[in-house]
Amino acid sequence: MKKFILLLFVSVLTFACVDFKRDQLLRKVAKMDRNLLVLVGKLKDDRMNDIASIKLNTIQTELRVKQNLHLDTIDMELAKKLDAYKVMRRSIKPMLQQYLKVKEGIKEEKRVLKQLRKDINEGRGERNRYAEYIRFERQKVSQLSSLTTEFLRAKEQFFKDYALLYPPIEAFSRTLLQKKQNR
């Protein structure tokens, strides 16, 4: 009888420790999930919905300038602006690729964390490796955070350059077109 009580006590203690460890692991997964939600919030920007029209407008403006600017010499200030404008326009595609990469990465990581949470709750797989899986996923969340920060920096630089360069270059391209039509 004493052996039975001792065995029962040891098994209850073991399951209590397992539940404590499970709760601890689930809290870590939940924390990573919250970090992903923060990243999703940082990515939300209504200006990204207009990026296709911005790209089209910048291409049209550049074409107008190329087709209508016929100078033997060019003002150095104008040349610098036109060069910066080209660089700004060409940064759209890499910025969009980075945006899609981050969005897809977050979506995939949410799916992985959901599966990991389910496995921990149900005790599936190699239980002794849960902590290792969590460390690996934490590294991926950290990478996603770095990618998001880099994307946000590139996006802000693009919109800053766009606001600075597009209006004067657009106006310049319109004056070139007007001059060509008046000839």
Q: pLDDT digits over 150-175, tens only?
A: 999 999 999 999 999 999 999 999 99
Query: What pLDDT score does 162 carry?
Result: 96
Identify the residue with better confidence: 101 or 18. 101
Q: Which of 8, 168, 17, 26 is nearest to 88 (CA)?
A: 168
All residues at 6 or more sequence positions from 38 whose CB lies less than 8 Å from its CB, including other chains: none
Query: What pLDDT score does 144 carry?
Result: 96
pLDDT at 92 over 60: yes
Q: Which residue type does 152 have?
A: L
Residue 2 lies inside a defined structural domain of this protein: no
DSSP class of residue 49 equals G
Average pLDDT, the chain: 87
Instruction: Please state the domain count of the chain.
Output: 1
Contact status, residue 26 vs residue 120, Cβ threshold 8 Å:
yes
Residue 6 lies inside a defined structural domain of this protein: no
Query: What pLDDT score does 20 carry?
Result: 59
Query: What pLDDT score does 16 carry?
Result: 42
- H or E element: which one contains 20? helix 2-43
Query: What pLDDT score does 152 carry?
Result: 96
pLDDT at 1 over 70: no
CA distance 99 to 105: 10
Residue appearing with tokens 């060509």: 180
Query: What pLDDT score does 14 carry?
Result: 47
Residue 9 lies inside a defined structural domain of this protein: no
pLDDT at 86 over 50: yes
Residue 14, number of CB atoms within 10 A of its CB? 10
As a residue count, the chain comes to 183
CA distance 82 to 77: 9
Q: pLDDT-derived band of residue 13, with 50, 70 and 90 as boundaries? A: very low
Average pLDDT over residues 59-72: 87
Identify the residue with better confidence: 120 or 20. 120
Q: Which residue type does 4 have?
A: F
**3-state secondary structure at position 124:** coil
In angstroms, how far is CA 147 from the centroid of its own chain? 6
Residue 163 lies inside a defined structural domain of this protein: yes
Residue 168 lies inside a defined structural domain of this protein: yes
Query: What pLDDT score does 63 carry?
Result: 93
Query: What pLDDT score does 122 carry?
Result: 87
Residue appearing with tokens 């407008």: 57
Domain around 153: 16-182
Residue 8 lies inside a defined structural domain of this protein: no
**3-state secondary structure at position 72:** coil
DSSP class of residue 50 equals G
pLDDT at 17 over 80: no
Residue 4 lies inside a defined structural domain of this protein: no
Query: What pLDDT score does 2 carry?
Result: 63
pLDDT at 44 over 60: yes
Residue 7 lies inside a defined structural domain of this protein: no
- Phi/psi of residue 123, each to 5°? 70, 30
